[in-house]
Every structure is written in C-alpha cells, then in structure tokens.
Structure 1
C-alpha cells in the first residue's frame, strides 16, 4: 500500500489546450526536452527540419501542421512521472479534446501573446470550468510583438471567466524583450538574443530594489519592473494552492516555447503545485486512486499507431489500484474477462511494454475490436465511469467506394475509424447506403486520407441534406411506431451498434414528428449513450 501511495504522489497527468497555432505542440516538445525525454525538438512548421514534432505522429498532421489526434507522452522530471496529453486545437477535432479532458487531473492553457484569447480556447476552458479542473495559463511567443501583459491578464479574466495570479511577468516584449521576472522563485531570467536556442542565465534577487537589477536590464526597464510588481501585489490575489486545486484561481506564466524561454519555470512550478491523480465519479460511487483494486476507462482508441502493423490501441486512464500485465480484467459493458500481454506506455516518441502502471498513468492496450470509447475495466466490480461527452454530428455525407476491388478494406477501415470516435456511421434501412456523420468538416478529409494510406481503400463523398441524427427510443411493436416507420422509412438508419436513428432534415421536422408521435422519444446523444 505504501508503494502504491508513493507511486500516486509521483504522478502528474495533465492536458495542454489552446487555439490552433498558439504554440501548444512546441510547448509539449520543450517540456519533453527539459525532461530529457528527447534530444532535439522538431520545428513544427519548418520545412528546413524534416523531423516532425514528436507528438504529431500522423502523416496528415505533418503535412498540415496541425494536431488532429490527441497524443500521449510521458517523461520523468525531478522524481515525478509526468504524463502529458497533447490535444488537437482545431475546432473540427474538439470532440477528441473534450473526451481527453475526462482523463486529465489538470490543464495548461496556452495563449498567443499577439492574438490573445481566441474562440477555441474559450470553448475548451468552459469545459474545464464546468469540471473544476485546475488550470495554469502559459502566455507564449513573448519574443514577438504582442499585447501588453496587463491587458492580456484582463482579457484572460474577462473572456475566460478566470481569476488570475501572475507568477511571472515579462521585462519588455518583442524586440525590447529582455527576460522574465519569476515571482514564484524571486529571480530574473535574461533572454540573450544571440543564444536563441539556449536559455540565458538566471540571476536570483532577494530584493527587488537591488541596484544590480538596474545593471542587468537597464534603469528604465528596472523601474518599469518595480512599478509592475507593485501593481501585481496590489491588484491580484496572493497565490493559494487550495483555490487553484478547486479551479477558483489560475496562475499565469509568460515565456517563449520556441526559444525555450520560461518553459523550465513553468515546469518547476507545475511540479510543485499541480494535483496528483484525483478520485473519479462512477455511476455507483466515487473511486479513489489509493484503492487496492484496479479500475480504468477508455477515453481514446487509435487505429494504426504503426502503419506497418494493423494494430489498434485503446488508451486507458488508470483511476485506481495497479494495472498489471497478463492479469485478467473485466470489461464491464461486455461482462467478459480480458488479459493483455503487452500493455504500452509512451515515452516521448517511443512505446514501451510495461509490467505495472499506476493511477494517473495512461496505458495503450492492443485491441482486436473489443473496446468502445467510454468502456470501463475493473478487477470484477461492475461500475462505469461517467462524463465521457456525446455529440450528435453536425455534418453528414454519403460515403461511396471508389475502388470495387477494395470493398473489404474499405469496410474494415470505416469500421475501425468509427471505433476511434473520429466520426459516426449510419446505414440506411431502406437501401443499406452508408452515411458518415462528423462534428467538423475537416474530418472527411482525414478519413479519406487515412482510408487510402492506412487501409489501401479509396472513397468518395456525396452530399445529403440532414439536419440532425436523432436516436429513437420506442416500442417497435406498437402501432404508433409502425406508422412512424412507414411514414419516415426513407430517413431511418442504424448506427454502428444497430441502434435505430432518425435522420431529420430540419428542426421543424423533428418538432412535427414529436407532436405527431408523442410516445416515440428522440435523443440527440451519440453511441456513447449507455447501451
């Protein structure tokens, strides 16, 4: 038990969220670099360096320079095991990000100093606030011209509804950027322009009125810094870890991830203050990490992590107990026992087989088609973890086979990609035609690309006018249902799990259908509803 508690205390599992292009993937890389997990950082967008960003392992991500799948990365730092979940920033992949947020204990929000708070950041922070997830804010790209630090802090408070506490403040910005005063550690880190990829020296000051500060950064900058620190002390609350843990207070750090600047300070403070693995609510009770028995849940499924092998990995967040290789565990939904001979952990860009994993860890389990997103694994207890969000798709298209010789590959590819939660598949009752529903339009491109490159299958799309997918709950033998099915047969389909779905062409149609058939219930939640 003592060992389990020690392992739990060592672990910090967090997600990084932001609007696309705020520098999230670069920050992930630099955290790995400081943790010694990788030797060089791949320039995410630079064509000069062909090595892609460590966390963007899908080919389409490298081409477009955006992250479309959540990556799981781990490294050791100062006696802690840090698990990072790098999430897609692009809004078309928000569903993946929302699900990932169920698996983290805290979050780092990355904001671009020039653009400030952007739309996608607002949406994601809202989800974190709903769940009271502790958040830490990193204002990035200080080596570029941007908004005034205090204006930005105001914007973060107003637009995101946060209560911020600056734990570092910048000295100058853009071409005048000289460094950062780290309030958390009482020191100044100088930014030396000629050593862009190397971090400048750190000078410790016990007293802000120390004359050597003037020598280090110049009298004007030193006076501005003193004024600003005074302002910080009078305007912002003192940092209180309890309030941060409850999600009521958000510390803010400034830096430039691309230039390795302010990243170590962020990481050091994070290790000090971020929560260790937290209890999680299941349908029957609250599950605590220190419990002896293993529990965990699947928050992501990824096909073809290795294109040479047709493998699927189910990502499981361990909530309690110890997960052991080759032990039998209960897949609660199916009521069947499974054992895993080669569970994977992720260290930077490498996968390793692990014998034991602890609460807070993410393990990748090889999956032959047993798992769905939201599934719970236990040592025998019948419980299900709650809160994996569901979405009705917003875009619909027919999918057609463009190569009749590859029908089997296409069917397998669609089947596996749908299990990942990339999109949802509906098969029309009337003629068996297949319709793909997605949350964002960009997913169609990703599906087409991955079908071709991972499964050797080609598809085309055809537009179809559907407003919403409604899951039908009704007595299928009743005369009311039979009349509904007769009138609406052209719009009825089955989802991947054979649940009946009504594909409505407008909100007016939904309203009229509900009025005409009062005993037929229409739901707007996807296949992640408890089946």
Structure 2
C-alpha cells in the first residue's frame, strides 16, 4: 500500500559552474534514488540527459527528478527541478519559478557570489519563494566559506543565518562540515538577533524572561520565517564528498514549505516545459495547483478543449504512469497536440499568475541554412524549437527569404546550431548578432480612409489617431466613435489588427507604449466583413504613425565591473570603445568597481576581452535595464507585406481578400 506524503517542488538554482547539478546528484544518491553518483565532467549525471548537455558540461534544459525524505506520515515527496545556470538560458529558469514551493541557491566556496547569483536571489526575493543557500565546493582549492558568507551578507542584501561551518581541511577532499549545536551560545545569540527583527512577540518574550525562549522555540521561529521568505539559512559543504549534505537535507525537510494545494478544488495547473520526442509527439510538463486531472477526461487547456491520452507522475525516483494526477504534483502529459509553455490547465491559479520576471532577449540573428534547399526544413525545426522555448521569437519575411531568432547571448547561438545539426540534420550559419530595438512614438498623428472615397478599395471606414503613451503602459486601444456605430466583431478586428501591426513600426521594430484611438468607422451592412477591416487597418495605422514619427531606441544593459586597481588603465579605454556610460570608479579594498550602462550588442565583446584586460580577475555583471535613442541608424527588414508601401500592400491584400 502506497503511503501518502506531502509534496515539495524544489528548485536548484545557481550561477553556472557553482556545482548545482553535482548537488542534485548527491541529493538523489543520499535519498537512495541512484546507486552511483554521476559526474558532470564524465557526462553521467541523471538530470543532464541531453547529449549536448553531457558534452558541454552545462545544464541547458530544465529536468525533474523525484525522491522521498523521511518515512510514514512525516514523509516529504520532493520533485527536484534542476535548472540551467548559464544566463543565456535564463528563460528556462523563469518558467520554473512559477511552479516552485521553495529553492536552494547554490554558491561556490571558491568563486563566491557571482553575477547570476545576485540576479537569482533578487528574483526569489521579489517572488517570495522561500529559499536556503548552500555554499558548495568546500573541497576545492581556494575555498573559503567565511569569505563567501561575508560576500553573501554584503552583496545579496537578504537576511541570512549560517547553520554550520567547515571545521577541518578547507580546500581539500578531507574538508569536514559541522552544524552549529544548540549549546553554541554564539550561534543561538545570532539566531535570536536575526529572528527578533521580524518577530516582536519573540522579542517581547525574550525581554520578559529569556529562559522561556528555548532553542526549540528559536528553531520553530526559524522555520516559520524561512517559509515566509524573511530569512535564509545558509549551509556549507561539498556535493562531491558529501560533507554538509545531511544538514542541508534536514534543512530542506524542516524549513521549506510543502505545497498548500487543494486536491478537492477546481482543476488548475500550468505547463512549464514542452518536449518533442523522436516520434514528433509533444510531452508537456505541468504542475497541478488544484483539483485532479484524469486520463481521457476532457479539460480546458489555454481556453481550448484538450484530452490527455496518457500521463506519468514523478514519484519515488521515476516517472510512473498513472490514471490521474492530483494537486501538488508534477506530471508529464501526452495527447495535447497544441500545448505551449505557459498554458493554463483548467482555470488560472489564483496566487500564481504567469509573469515574466526576467527581461526578454535583447539580441537577434538571422539563421542561414548551408543548403538553400533546407529553408523549409529549417523553418519547421525552428518552429518546433520555439514551442520548447517561446522566447526564440522566430521571424520570417513574407517571401520566406530569411529566418531570424531572438537570443540572450552567443552561447545560446552555439547550442542552437548544434541542436539543429544533431537533432534535425541541418547545418546552419548565423549572421552578425544585432540588438533588438524598439520604436517610440514621437508625436501625434492621424489618418483615415472612408468607404468609397479616395481610392479606398476596402468595404470599410477606419480612422485612427496615434500618440505616445506612458513608459511600460503597453499599447492602449480607445474609441471615440459612438457605441453601436460598428458591429462588435468589426471593432474587435480593428483592435486586434492594431496590436499585430505595431509589432513593426516605421523602421521594422516593435512600437510599445502608445495610445491608438479609433476616430472614424463605417461599413456596408450587406457586403462588409471583418476581413475588410483587418485589411484596411494597417494602411491607416501606418499612415498615422508616419505623421506622428518614431524614434528607434536600442537596448541598454546596466553593468557592474569589479577588477584589480592596476588594470584600470586598460579597462577604462575598453569601456569607452564599447560606448559604455560609466560612473566614477570606486575603490573596494584592492579592487575598483565601475557601474554604468552599455549597449546590449557590446556586452559579449567586453566579456571576451575582459580576461586579457584584467589578468583573468575581472568580474562582470550585466542585465537589461532600458532602451535609449540609438546612436546610429538601425532598421529591420519587414515581415508584414509593408503597409508603408501602398501599392505593394494592396497587391497582397487583394490576393488575400
């Protein structure tokens, strides 16, 4: 008889090479799921299942493994989600965050707090995801858990409490971690000081009678505050040797919350990963928040009706086929042919809205098949890859001459080329990576086309006014025409077409943050169709946009660069060459810290030359920050049959209508 257990959906997050996948292996081994610990270097780890991951020694795709902590009624079933650490694959991490109950953030005892560590910690804090920290690689030469703990306290800007230390052999295979004991008065005092910052009741009890604040009470308060994301216990050890792992496991079991999902409530879940198997079949990974999903029962999926033909639930180390999956679990679903990442199963989770927590890609490149005859096959392959990673942002011009994709960085480009070659048999090259710009409306412009006048070939009247909107406000559609002057279906056709058309402005870039107002409307009651309005709207909108004018803005990344003081003479002109806008260098010990902004397309070049400029000691942290007016003309080829060119557009529109 199977024992019912609570479920914890646990993310393992880290900067690349902090030992995240090795920690995953060690946890699975400690739980008895695997008999032998795999090696990242040897390509034998459980969660890095792709051949490309094994060969490169990095995690590219999210993977799920399951193990059980404890026995009987107190057992916790852990769905461990191993995520990529390289910033080029941050989209994989984003999709996972919305399904986690808690996380372990891994920090290297050698390299310490790295750029991605800070990005991830800020995100966990913003989303309120309870998390522990694990200082890994205590067995590595150069390890210093005390220094790294100080970095965590100084650079991560979250309350932490160390739960142990390395007592012997730091930097060697004999490194030994030891948990702080209840008898350690210095530890209990640190614990008390940290916890009373968020708990006035505890502080009052201590002031009234310190004896009533026992270690057990402190431990319970630590668990409560950790689950609320108010404090973060820090463990130390080595995933390779296993020291410190039992203490971390106990922390996971004791301090992180299991899912508060409602198995009896209405059906609610979300897809966070989609795979295509060799047969072409889609497999969706979904976290269920409420209710129960059964095989062969019809259920709404992203507003469409779907039917799961088969499912498997992660349990006791493997994915087991079941007839249903209940709230709290992660399952692999088959049969949903049109499923996409982010799709809601049933109704939207009340407290888990799907949101973008990281900036979208700021770069793009054109993908060119080595054999021109492979264009069709390349389009199909990229379409399938975009199902697994929607932020690939596949674009194709109307004549099918060029295919372009969005990127976070050059490593992602290399992985994409290898994937196309090995999984689809397609050899490709890439054009130069360029920034993804936007166009901002400069003024106000109006235009209209009246049915039966001025060469308007459409059986529709549309008038539009375009003007700037507040930053971050998106595209807002308003109406000045009287209600009832146009059938609702025609009005919706205009509004939807406005949003589609503004994906490409006067120079081919997306136009965000503007207000479009409908000023004129008219139709022929017998012959007009929604298609007539869809055909006319781009002409009117782009004419209004031309009169308003747009300014191309390029993406800018904020950066923080730390480097030895004697490298300043080399670093400063390099930043100037790459058009960086910097603040004065600030001294930090024997290093300088420079912060500022740099164009997105200059980041990779700076990263590449930084080791030579700084003797390998420079640390660069970057993230998208804002758009600024481009310093050089930037345009992009259109994919929309060019409503700026009336004759060309009408020739296509007449064929379509």
How does the TM-score come out when normalised to structure 2?
0.60
Alignment partner, residue 388 of structure 1: 355
Aligned pair 1:458/2:431, yes or no? no
Distance of aligned partners of 1:375 and 1:504 in 2 relative to their CA distance in 1, 3 Å threshold: farther
Contact 2:61 2:92 in 1 (8 A): yes
> Residues of 2 paired with 1:331 and 1:521: CA distance?
40
How big is the shift at 1:369? Answer: 4.1
1:51-200 map, 5 Å: 52-78=44-70, 79-146=75-142, 148-172=144-168, 173-175=170-172, 179-183=176-180, 186=181
Higher mean displacement: 347-356 or 430-439: 347-356
Q: Mark the structure with the bigger radius of gyration.
A: 2
SS where residue 97 of structure 2 aligns?
helix
Alignment partner, residue 416 of structure 2: 447
Contact 1:142 1:177 in 2 (8 A): no
Alignment partner, residue 641 of structure 2: none
Aligned residues: 448
Aligned pair 1:435/2:404, yes or no? yes
Contact 2:166 2:178 in 1 (8 A): yes
Distance of aligned partners of 1:162 and 1:506 in 2 relative to their CA distance in 1, 3 Å threshold: farther
Distance of aligned partners of 1:169 and 1:515 in 2 relative to their CA distance in 1, 3 Å threshold: farther
Distance of aligned partners of 1:124 and 1:471 in 2 relative to their CA distance in 1, 3 Å threshold: farther
> Residues of 2 paired with 1:523 and 1:323: CA distance?
46
> Residues of 1 paired with 2:348 and 2:190: CA distance?
51
Contact 1:254 1:262 in 2 (8 A): yes
Distance of aligned partners of 1:524 and 1:127 in 2 relative to their CA distance in 1, 3 Å threshold: farther
Alignment partner, residue 262 of structure 2: 289
Distance of aligned partners of 1:503 and 1:434 in 2 relative to their CA distance in 1, 3 Å threshold: farther
> Residues of 1 paired with 2:231 and 2:392: CA distance?
36
Instruction: Determine which of 320, 330, 337 is the counterpart of 2:305.
Output: 337
Alignment partner, residue 271 of structure 2: 298
How big is the shift at 1:146? Answer: 4.1
> Residues of 1 paired with 2:186 and 2:100: CA distance?
34
Query: Structure 2 regions of 5+ residues with no counterpart?
Result: 196-217, 449-461, 467-498, 515-541, 556-657
Contact 2:503 2:509 in 1 (8 A): no
Contact 2:298 2:307 in 1 (8 A): yes
Distance of aligned partners of 1:382 and 1:105 in 2 relative to their CA distance in 1, 3 Å threshold: closer
Distance of aligned partners of 1:258 and 1:459 in 2 relative to their CA distance in 1, 3 Å threshold: same
Contact 1:393 1:468 in 2 (8 A): no
Alpha-carbon displacement from aligned partner over 1:119-176 (angstroms, at most 9, x marks no partner): 1010011111001110101111112244543432222122111111122222132249
How big is the shift at 1:74? Answer: 1.2
Contact 2:436 2:554 in 1 (8 A): no
Distance of aligned partners of 1:400 and 1:361 in 2 relative to their CA distance in 1, 3 Å threshold: same
How big is the shift at 1:293? Answer: 2.2
Aligned pair 1:35/2:31, yes or no? yes
Contact 2:66 2:77 in 1 (8 A): yes
Instruction: Determine which of 239, 254, 267 is the counterpart of 2:249.
Output: 267
Instruction: Determine which of 279, 294, 310 is the counterpart of 1:309.
Output: 279
Contact 1:393 1:469 in 2 (8 A): no
How big is the shift at 1:352? Answer: 3.1
Aligned pair 1:359/2:327, yes or no? yes
Query: Structure 1 regions of 5+ residues with no counterpart?
Result: 1-5, 187-205, 209-225, 279-287, 482-496, 526-531
> Residues of 2 paired with 1:132 and 1:382: CA distance?
16
